[in-house]
Amino acid sequence: MSSICGVCNIDVGTGRKRSLLCRTCNTWFHVDCEGVSKDVFSTLDKNRNLLYTCKECTENPPDPDNDNLFKEEIRKEFAAFKKLLRLHEIDMKKDQAEINMKLETVVSEIRKEISTRMDEIKDEVKDCKQLVNLNDKMMRKKFNELELQNHVFQSRLNRSDIIITGLSNDLQNLTETVKSLCSYLKVDIMPDDILNVVYIRKRNAVLVKFGRISTRDKIMSQYFQEKSLNRSHVEGGNICTRVYLNDNYSSLAQKFLRICWKLAKDNRITHYSIINRELLKAKLTMPNGDIRTMTFNECIEFFKVEI
């Protein structure tokens, strides 16, 4: 609504001039421009329910027919606007439906693509895992073969060796101690039969290398017949702690010993003994009393041992 005075065309809000609104033509007028007396203005100002009609509308009242025609035009315009608004709303819903459909299609295609890619990745991972398992199996097989070959080489190299445990760790002449041992076991040895004697395992054991396998075998045979070899028999004195003679095991044989020891500790076997040959085996006594002889790989497979 305009707030311009219908007479002077000046904004009625400018300055502090009093103004009135004609409720017929909805036009503002300055009180002075319209020629309204102070008493009339005071009465209108105090009684807000009273409506003011300007001089123009008083002298030339609007035609009711024209007013009704104007209202009818307004109703038609408003009806047309509502119809246009409904059409626009329908178009918007249609556009929204199309957008949703396209969005669902795009999302569906993306999901399908992701699913396809995931399946491809799973297949690739599966193939990769199979390849890794195959390579791992081949590497384990190759490693076992090399380990067995190494055992054969070590067994041949150590065939004439004996490991002695239970002796003092401060002996000054190990060669004489070994000679004393052979003498007690009644095995005659030649001066060149003993190639080398050294402390090993932080002086907890003695490694003896003999020049002849036959000499070594005689000593071990007499040892097993003796069954009770003490320090006093070898070093003299009255110390009767046991002295043990064993083969100089290869790395694989030592591993086999540890596995058998663990199986016995877990009560999966009751007794074991290593058959230290080029074809390494162990004699195992089961909890039910059965005795089985197995190679290293057979033992690993039978007891499902992780190494």
In a domain, 209, yes or no: yes
Q: Backbone phi, then psi, for 240, in 5-degree steps?
A: -110, 20
Weakest-pLDDT range from 55-64, 77-86, 142-151, 291-300: 55-64
Instruction: Note the pLDDT tens digit of each residue in 11-46.
Output: 887 666 788 888 878 888 888 888 888 888 888 788
- What the block records as the tokens of 181 is 């041992």
208 and 180 part of one domain: yes
Instruction: Provide the 3-class DSSP secondary structure of residue 211.
Output: coil
What CATH number does residue 37 fall under? Answer: 3.30.40.10
CA distance 6 to 29: 6
163 and 153 part of one domain: no
In a domain, 69, yes or no: no
Give yes or no for a contact between 155 and 248, defined as CB atoms under 8 angstroms apart.
no
CA distances from 287 to 50, 70, 292, 302 (A): 118, 114, 11, 15
Domain termination site, one of 246, 275, 290: 246
The yes-or-no verdict on residue 285 having pLDDT over 90 is yes
Weakest-pLDDT range from 26-30, 177-181, 210-214: 26-30
What CATH number does residue 176 fall under? Answer: 3.30.70.330
Domain termination site, one of 217, 246, 275: 246
141 and 174 part of one domain: no
In a domain, 196, yes or no: yes
pLDDT of residue 70: 62
CA distance 301 to 295: 10
Domain termination site, one of 101, 127, 158: 158
The yes-or-no verdict on residue 293 having pLDDT over 90 is yes
pLDDT of residue 238: 86
In a domain, 194, yes or no: yes
In a domain, 68, yes or no: no
Residue from 250, 248, 258 nearest 300 by CA? 258
138 and 166 part of one domain: no
Which spans in the chain are helix H?
A: 31-34, 38-46, 55-59, 64-157, 174-184, 213-226, 231-235, 251-265, 296-303
Provide the domain count of the chain. Answer: 4
78 and 152 part of one domain: yes
In a domain, 223, yes or no: yes
pLDDT of residue 171: 92
Grade residue 271 by pLDDT with cuts at 50, 70 and 90: very high
Give yes or no for a contact between 253 and 148, defined as CB atoms under 8 angstroms apart.
no
In a domain, 67, yes or no: no
The yes-or-no verdict on residue 53 having pLDDT over 90 is no
pLDDT of residue 62: 64
Residue from 181, 152, 158, 147 nearest 248 by CA? 158
Strands (E) in 39-175, as ranges, are 161-165
43 and 80 part of one domain: no
Weakest-pLDDT range from 51-65, 85-99, 286-300: 51-65
Instruction: Note the pLDDT tens digit of each residue in 97-134.
Output: 999 999 999 999 999 999 999 999 999 999 999 999 88
pLDDT of residue 90: 87
Structural domain of 283: 251-303
221 and 174 part of one domain: yes
